[in-house]
A and B are shown apart, each in its own frame.
Chain A
Amino acid sequence: MNFQSNTKANFKVVGTRVPRPDGVDKVTGRALYGADFNVPGMQVGLILRSPHAHATINSIDTSKATALPGVKAVVTSADLGVPEDESLRDVQDNCLARGKVLYDGHAVAAVAAKDMATAKAALKLIKVDYTPLPHVTDVDAAMKLDAPVVQEARADESVPEGCGPNVTHYCEFGHGDLESGFGMADLILERSFTTAATHQGYIEPHACVASYGTDDKADLWCTTQGQYFVRDLCSGILGIEGSQLRVTASEIGGGFGGKTTVFIEPVALALSRKAGRPVKIVMSRVDVFRATGPTVSSSMDVRIGMTKDGRITAAEAKLRYQGGAFPCGTVDMGAQAAFAAYDLKAVRTQGWNALTNRPKEAAYRAPGAPMAIYAVESVVDELCQQLDLDPLDVRILNAADAGTKSSYGPTFDQIGLMATLEAAKEHDHYHAPLGENQGRGLSCGFWFNFGGNTSVSLAINSDGTVSVTEGNPDIGGSRASISMMAAEELGVAYEKVRTIITDTSSLGQNDVTDGSRVTFAVGLATIKAARAAIRVMCGRVAKIWGIDEDAVVWEDGAAKPSGPNAGDFEPMTLADIAAISSETGGPIAGHHEVNAEGAGVSFGVHLADVEVDPETGATKVLRYTVFQDAGKAVHPDYVEGQMQGGAAQGIGWALNEEYIYGDDGRLQNAGFLDYRIPVASDLPNIDTVILEIPNPGHPYGVRGVGETPIVPPLAALSNAVSRAIGVRLHELPMSPPKILKAVMAKG
């Protein structure tokens, strides 16, 4: 049978608020996360970390540790090979330092022992002889020509002549004639900004159990956003074939991008191989802060020209990001996202990445975008203030829309920016009165969204139920959405479907749960797998009825005769067909494999009201509203949950969160007491307005929603605080001392 390619409009299951399938497990303590998994004979793995920001490793003496009774294995980078692939080598060198330690907390060696006390004692017996080297942790300092060199000769071919030795990457995007654009402006503002590195702050530390056999077959259980990528990285590092390493993802206690790579998993495998026993490693919170991925920190210059009636005539941004001790390309995404919300005739962004003696940056929800858009949206807001223009009207006047050539190249298809801006303008939040020391800020946000490699299998069970097998860890309720889309397409009740996330041996490649890709790409593959199963079912029924396969249609969960045969036979439901499948040709299943494209970009607009205490500089968020285009909200509760959770993380980034390094290059605040993420009493209710402008690239119009909402809070809060105190701020986080200083400087 044929399926129409246009977007579906009438839904029965999609758009409802059904209970999530993992709900009972998670409210009763039954759900098993990374650290909850155990196997018999398991040893405790522990990692020794560098106390230096930057040092040469002259030697590592493990003999005393190895000799300690109860110690089963000690490993260093010498136990691993040196991968030819540069990016794999970087991942490995981040897991176990080779030759030099590059940041405070860099892993140096690891032990496996019978219990924690023995493992701790063994770590103390490992003698590492270091020669400390000069270090650099600040991005602007790292870009200088005479900066301490973090790694030699790591610049890629994009880096122009004359850059400092730590610059590894350069990028440039844009179009149009900047000079003539600025020439048409009535007001040009150029401002510089900095943002601190923040951590994803997932509450579950990294944890894994590795079991490596003497036959070079291995199993790994771990908390991760992508078991396939873990498999690829670990098999590459261990030098074994991918088929021989089976990786199973546990329930995941938050990731936000930070669990898209490996830190402890290859180490646990190496220990297990050497010890001949299973090894479990659970990171401490201190180690999570010191050695897993924070975001980049940034230093940025933005220049925008505007006419007195609010049209932007030209815009440019220079972004300098540091992503820690290894090369990263995050600045590309910042440079592409910076002006995505605007329809501009003349725009240019330039980006530089620099190495520093900090942990290797890992993805964090819309990586690279929040800081760039913070800088842009701050300058737009200041232009509006100086020209006495309504900041929402100015956004509407300049908004990108379908057909706009984006600042990073592609021409937009249907996008929801204008709809979110108009919804914000109509909302009573935008018109509510403000009191003394209060201010309102707004910001647009954007994320590209990804598709990627996806493989889904869907079985029609003989009792009329449906089993969906997919390979993407569920970090925000995706099993519910996937089941809903399968139920919708098949025409069965949601309760008849159960979606399972499987290990790496059971399905083809699935890219990491990132890029807001899962509801879009796995959903798309699930719908197509369901359609494949429907084709099989219609074929079976056609044979039973003795009519042409094309004369059977699938409606409301049943096969029906159509055309000249309409009404000739009683419809056969999915359950009817499933019950007799063994007599009609055997089990019925559908599957779909795709490298999904057409993810459809996502825009949001946030409104924030704050009150700043002029005595202390403390900011209270009074009211917060998120407007976002979801394309189609499959499960509205969890779409709202993404919008609220992203907003809360962005509020933390704006007001409190930062990596603080001392002059010694060591992290000063490696714990939740001093790295303060928002707690319940810090936040107001976060109101949400979901817009649905269908994504033409998905059968149901779905767009990814997870990342966009972390983008706008940075500028929304900064604009609100700046308006509340009457002084423009250019630095995040806006911690009370910084605000107080700005207030006092104003006089």
Chain B
Amino acid sequence: MKNIHVSTTLNGDDAEFVCAPEETLLDALRNRLGLSGAKEGCGTGDCGACTVEMDGRLVCSCLVLGAEAQGAQIKTVEGMAIGEALHPLQQAFIDHAALQCGICTPGILVAAKNLLERNPDPTDTEIRYWLAGNLCRCTGYDKIIKAVQIAAADMRGA
């Protein structure tokens, strides 16, 4: 089958790429568009390391076809910081040691940002269930939950 031409919006900018019909959005992001922030941890939607936002909805980009990005708004970790200014979640993750190896961090940041946009004042339990699809093997999640709460408080105050 022939490759497909896709026009999409990536972190607010127009973007175009060509991909195979069976190619995942994750592979298109990483191999066609040069954005390697989304990671493949499993390829089956179990680990959440490839989490991106598609039209405001969180998706595992390993379970979405590249072709489905046609006309969509895609947001990745690379779009979180504005110029030199880190997003409050990014800053809180650094300041409060919410990452160790960092491989799950892009997916968790994208997922947490989406949560705080829907619910600016979540409980710990709400954060834990919201992030239950994002595996972290290093931290035991404790500092991640705390950093999300600190960023949420910061954003409510801002």
A253 with B97: in contact, given A27-B86, A641-B138 (CB under 8 Å)? no
B144 lies within 8 A of A645 (CB): no
B129 lies within 8 A of A681 (CB): yes
B145 lies within 8 A of A671 (CB): no
Interface mask (B76-91 → A, CB under 8 Å = 1, otherwise 0): 1110110000100110
Total contacting residues, chain A, CB less than 8 A: 58
A204 lies within 8 A of B41 (CB): yes
- Residue of A at shortest CB range from B76? A29
B97 lies within 8 A of A641 (CB): yes
B77 lies within 8 A of A477 (CB): no
Give Cα A19 to B46, complex, Å: 31
Q: A189: CB under 8 A from chain B? A: no
Q: B25: CB under 8 A from chain A? A: no
A27 lies within 8 A of B103 (CB): no
Q: What number of A-B contacts does a CB cutoff of 8 Å give? A: 181
**Range of interface residues on B (Cβ < 8 Å):** 35 or more
Which of these, B94, B131, B134, contacts A27 with CB under 8 Å? Answer: B94
A645 lies within 8 A of B137 (CB): yes
Which residues of chain B have C-beta atoms less than 8 A from A156's C-beta? Answer: none
A284 with B43: in contact, given A23-B94, A477-B97 (CB under 8 Å)? yes
Whole-angstrom distance from the CB of B137 to the nearest CB of chain A?
Answer: 5
B100 lies within 8 A of A28 (CB): no
Interface mask (A463-485 → B, CB under 8 Å = 1, otherwise 0): 00000000000011100000000
A476 lies within 8 A of B127 (CB): no
Q: B101: CB under 8 A from chain A? A: yes
A20 lies within 8 A of B94 (CB): yes
Give Cα A29 to B109, complex, Å: 10
Which residues of chain A have C-beta atoms less than 8 A from B134's C-beta? Answer: 679-680
Which B17-64 residues sit within 8 Å CB-CB of chain A?
20, 30, 35-44, 46-47, 49
Give Cα A35 to B142, complex, Å: 28
Which of these, A32, A203, A649, A678, contacts B36 with CB under 8 Å? Answer: A32
A672 lies within 8 A of B42 (CB): yes
Give Cα A274 to B32, complex, Å: 28
Which A305-362 residues sit within 8 Å CB-CB of chain B?
none
Which A105-163 residues sit within 8 Å CB-CB of chain B?
117
Which A234-267 residues sit within 8 Å CB-CB of chain B?
251-256
B102 lies within 8 A of A22 (CB): yes
Give Cα A200 to B101, complex, Å: 14
Which residues of chain A have C-beta atoms less than 8 A from B86's C-beta? Answer: 24, 27-28
A679 lies within 8 A of B37 (CB): no
Which residues of chain A have C-beta atoms less than 8 A from B128's C-beta? Answer: 680-681, 683
B135 lies within 8 A of A28 (CB): no
Which residues of chain B have C-beta atoms less than 8 A from A23's C-beta? Answer: 93-94, 99
B140 lies within 8 A of A647 (CB): yes
Which of these, B40, B44, B90, B143, contacts A28 with CB under 8 Å? Answer: B90
Which residues of chain A have C-beta atoms less than 8 A from B46's C-beta? Answer: 285, 671-673
Which residues of chain B have C-beta atoms less than 8 A from A476's C-beta? Answer: 100-101, 138
A680 lies within 8 A of B131 (CB): yes
A204 lies within 8 A of B97 (CB): no
Interface mask (A282-304 → B, CB under 8 Å = 1, otherwise 0): 10110000000000000000000
B137 lies within 8 A of A680 (CB): no
Which residues of chain A have C-beta atoms less than 8 A from B140's C-beta? Answer: 641, 644-649, 678, 683, 686
Give Cα A32 to B38, complex, Å: 11
A27 with B100: in contact, given A205-B41, A637-B143, A685-B145 (CB under 8 Å)? no
Q: B8: CB under 8 A from chain A? A: no
Give Cα A53 to B49, complex, Å: 31
Give Cα A480 to B87, complex, Å: 22
Which of these, B43, B80, B102, B133, contacts A26 with CB under 8 Å? Answer: B102
Whole-angstrom distance from the CB of B114 to the nearest CB of chain A?
Answer: 15
B138 lies within 8 A of A205 (CB): no
Whole-angstrom distance from the CB of A261 to the nearest CB of chain B?
Answer: 18
Q: A201: CB under 8 A from chain B? A: yes
List 24 A-B pairs, Cβ < 8 Å: A27-B99, A29-B77, A29-B106, A30-B37, A203-B39, A203-B47, A203-B104, A251-B102, A253-B41, A253-B102, A254-B101, A254-B138, A285-B46, A476-B101, A477-B97, A477-B100, A647-B140, A648-B141, A649-B137, A679-B131, A680-B128, A681-B129, A681-B131, A682-B132
Which residues of B are in contact with A by a Cβ distance under 8 Å? 20, 30, 35-44, 46-47, 49, 76-78, 80-81, 86, 89-90, 93-97, 99-106, 109, 124-125, 127-129, 131-145
